[in-house]
Amino acid sequence: MPRWMSRTILLCFLCAAASTATWAQGTPTTDGHALLQRCTAALRVDEAGQGDNSTQQQALWCLGYVAGFADGHTLGTVEMTLGSPLLCPPDGWRPAGQLVRLLVEWLRTHPTQLHRDMHSVMLLAFADAFPCPSVEEKK
C-alpha cells in the first residue's frame, strides 16, 4: 500500500478515534450500520435544527468523521502530487488527546497562521511536531 494511502487512512482513523473516545453506551460499533445511524442523526439535526443529547452527539461524530475523511484524502492527494511526505509521525502516532494538545499549543504560538483553513493549519502543526528526516539524516 502506498505510504500516502496509509497516512490518509490513519488520519481518518485518528479523527474517528478522537470523536468516539467516550460514548455513554459503551464501546461503539464501527461498521456501516453504525455509520448510517450516526449520519442519519446528522441529517435529522440538520433538517430539524434540534435533537436530544444522544442524537446531537451522533450527529457531531458523523460530521467530524466525514470532515476527517475528506481532509485525509486531500492530504493524501497533495502528498501523492508532491511525491514526498509532508509529515513523518512515529509508528502508531500518539493518543488523540496528545495530538489535540500539540495542535492547540501550535495554534496558540502561531496566531498569524489562524486565517488559513483548518486542514492547512493542522498539517502545518503536525509537520512541525513530526518533521520528516532530511536527506542527510537518512544517510
Longest pairwise C-alpha distance within the chain = 59
Q: Whole-angstrom Cα distance, residue 106 to residue 97?
A: 14
Asked if residue 15 lies in contact with residue 99, where contact means CB atoms within 8 angstroms, the answer is: no
Which DSSP letter does residue 22 get? -
Q: Whole-angstrom Cα distance, residue 80 to residue 15?
A: 21
- Give the N- to C-terminal CA distance of the chain in Å, as an integer: 24
17-44: per-residue pLDDT in tens? 444 444 445 555 677 778 888 888 888 8
**Residue 113 corresponds to which cell in the numbers above?**
497562521
Mean pLDDT for 40-55 is 86
108-138: per-residue pLDDT in tens? 999 999 998 887 888 888 889 989 887 555 5
70-94: per-residue pLDDT in tens? 778 777 887 778 888 888 888 767 7
